[in-house]
Amino acid sequence: MSEPLDLGLRAQAAAIAAGEVDAGELLDAALARIEQRNPALNAVVETFPERSREMLAAAPEGPLRGVPLVIKDEWPLPWRAQRFGAAELMVPTAPGESGPYRALRGAGATIVGVGNMHELGAGSTGAVSYYGAARNPWDTERCPGGSSSGPAAAVAGRLAAGAVGADGLGSVRLPAAYCGLTGLKPTFGSSAMAGHHMAPITTLIVSGPLCADAGDCRLLASALYGKELSTGDAAGLRIGVVRDPVSEDVTPEAAGACEEAIEALRAETGGELREIELPDLEAASLAGILIINSEAMGGATPRKLNRLSPELSPIARGTLKYGMLLPAAALAQGQRVRTLMRRRLAALFAGVDVIAWPTVPAPAPPLDAPVVELPSGTHSADQANVRGAALANLTGIPAISMPVGLSDDGLPLALQLQAAWGADELLLDAAEALERANGRRWVDAVPPPAEASAMEA
């Protein structure tokens, strides 16, 4: 057997259940690896060995018993309030038993550390954080994606076999894409959210798993959903594709890898491709931004904004203040666009099972210059990434990102599938079908030796 820590989530859980791996030793190995590799990745911002050992000692015989996992700095733990990757939040936070914590504890998992994240969840790169940027294990000079930057970097760097992130405008799928992982954005309201400081108000954010493959995501998602997600075969999958900048204004490498993957998925499932019309995706993207801004601004006052911590980044301070200036009419219009897109999707899903397009239009950009070169020109990665990610959050549908290739620079490329409300299991089935079709080539890919050496240094 390879190093137990290099096994996937299912394999770790099975090895522990079979008595082949000692859970205490696995936890120690995870802590040792974090100490060894994390300085190069900055994926994990805090460990708490005694708390982790207490969780393990009290772990029930659940499906994740003894498996060390990372949780994003977005939920409270009984011994730690979330920081949300920032020096200051607009609302108070406190330690407590969050929904994801209870879900993991109930499944027998051990939380080994807290994952870094983009400051205030307000970015898709992970380049800005109170803790400093997390780094991409495939190239530590590149963005790991965000906002669940640390969870993605931790799993890709094999610090843990799975992590819990949160997705408000792509924040699970985008880092999964940059780091070569599988990431699931559940149907809105399906996964544990209690304790999140925006849980009472958000209409966009969900918790979701980041793992190496779809099977591992299914296992971790089952804990987060509080029910076992069943397995199917995605036979006869009807795949919708759109002719829109979201699928065409992408790098040739991303386009080629995604087209190849879509065809492989069609062939594997004996399905069919259908070209569909889905206009106003840019309006949908902006609607998502406006709505999440309005939800995130809850608790902000001019008085608070005049006293922002100097430890907040200038970007955060500026965007928070600018957020107060956005016209209410635009938010109202955004809500109408939400309804419009929900109805269009409901109609489309009568004719297709999934809608496919690249998760990100280009692979991970450099941390010191997070911009991407697309056929339409140079864009900030945030601006480019949100347009393919926001629809699922805006409308509530589930979505999944899976690796489908590597760029010439050796960076992961990714495909996103979106399905109808409640069809989360179908997305996992489809991702597994694609893994079969390509021989698990991309889900089993690991960062190159040079980067691994940097992590060990």
Partner 1 sequence: MAENAPSGGGFIPAGLAALGIEADETELAVMAAVHGLIWPPLSELLALDTAHVEPERCPDLSRAPEP
Of 113-121, 153-161, 329-337, 427-435, which part binds partner 1 (CB under 8 A)?
329-337
Give me the 403-442 binding string for partner 1, x by CB under 8 A, dash otherwise. Answer: -----------------xxx--------------------
The amino acid occupying position 443 is V
**Which of 45, 128, 337, 454 is the binder for partner 1 (CB under 8 A)?**
337
Cα 347 from Cα 411, distance rounded (Å)? 36
Do 154 and 399 form a contact (C-beta atoms < 8 A)? no
Give me the 372-401 binding string for partner 1, x by CB under 8 A, dash otherwise. Answer: --------x--x-----------xx-----
Cα 90 from Cα 134, distance rounded (Å)? 23
Do 361 and 418 form a contact (C-beta atoms < 8 A)? no
Of 58-66, 125-133, 285-293, 425-433, which part binds partner 1 (CB under 8 A)?
285-293
Cα 319 from Cα 306, distance rounded (Å)? 13
**Which of 81, 194, 273, 283 is the binder for partner 1 (CB under 8 A)?**
283
Cβ closest to partner 1, residue 318 vs residue 375: 318
Give me the 175-214 binding string for partner 1, x by CB under 8 A, dash otherwise. Answer: ------------xxxx------------x-----------
**Which of 248, 282, 295, 444 is the binder for partner 1 (CB under 8 A)?**
282
Cα 426 from Cα 223, distance rounded (Å)? 17
In 212-353 the beta strands, taken as DSSP E runs, fall at 238-242, 272-276
Q: Report the candidate in 401, 11, 423 with the shortest Cα–Cα distance to residue 229.
A: 423
Question: How far lies 213's CA from each of 160, 430, 436, 442, in Å?
Answer: 13, 12, 11, 9
**Which of 51, 53, 102, 342 is the binder for partner 1 (CB under 8 A)?**
342
Cβ closest to partner 1, residue 68 vs residue 334: 334
Cβ closest to partner 1, residue 133 vs residue 337: 337
Cβ closest to partner 1, residue 150 vs residue 334: 334
**Which of 37, 118, 218, 338 is the binder for partner 1 (CB under 8 A)?**
338
Of 154-162, 258-266, 343-351, 360-368, which part binds partner 1 (CB under 8 A)?
343-351
Cis peptide before 191 (omega within 30 of 0): no
Of 78-86, 106-114, 331-339, 369-377, which part binds partner 1 (CB under 8 A)?
331-339
**Which of 227, 272, 277, 336 is the binder for partner 1 (CB under 8 A)?**
336
Distance in Å, CB of 159 to partner 1, minimum: 33
**What 8-state DSSP symbol labels residue 120?**
G
Cβ closest to partner 1, residue 138 vs residue 188: 188
Do 206 and 395 form a contact (C-beta atoms < 8 A)? no
Cβ closest to partner 1, residue 155 vs residue 426: 426
**What 8-state DSSP symbol labels residue 320?**
H
257-261, Cβ contacts within 8 angstroms, sequence gap of 24 or more = 257/404, 257/405, 257/413, 257/415, 258/356, 258/357, 258/358, 258/404, 258/413, 258/415, 260/404, 260/405, 261/404, 261/405, 261/415, 261/434, 261/438
Residue 302 within binding range of partner 1, rule CB under 8 A = yes
Residue 335 within binding range of partner 1, rule CB under 8 A = yes
Cβ closest to partner 1, residue 227 vs residue 336: 336
Distance in Å, CB of 116 to partner 1, minimum: 22
Q: Report the candidate in 110, 194, 85 with the shortest Cα–Cα distance to residue 160.
A: 110
Distance in Å, CB of 175 to partner 1, minimum: 22
Residue with tokens 């109202």: 332
Number of amino acids touching partner 1 (CB under 8 A)? 49
Pairing mode, strands 377-380 and 206-211? unpaired
**Which of 61, 252, 306, 457 is the binder for partner 1 (CB under 8 A)?**
306
Say which residues have a Cβ less than 8 Å from residue 394's Cβ, sequence separation at least 6.
Answer: 204, 284, 287, 288, 291, 337, 338, 341
Complete DSSP assignment for 4-21: GGGS-HHHHHHHHHTTSS
Distance in Å, CB of 355 to partner 1, minimum: 14
**Which of 264, 326, 446, 452 is the binder for partner 1 (CB under 8 A)?**
326
Residues in touch with partner 1 (CB under 8 A): 187-190, 203, 280, 282-283, 285-287, 289-290, 302, 305-306, 314-315, 317-319, 321-322, 324-327, 329-330, 333-340, 342-343, 345-346, 349, 380, 383, 395-396, 420-422
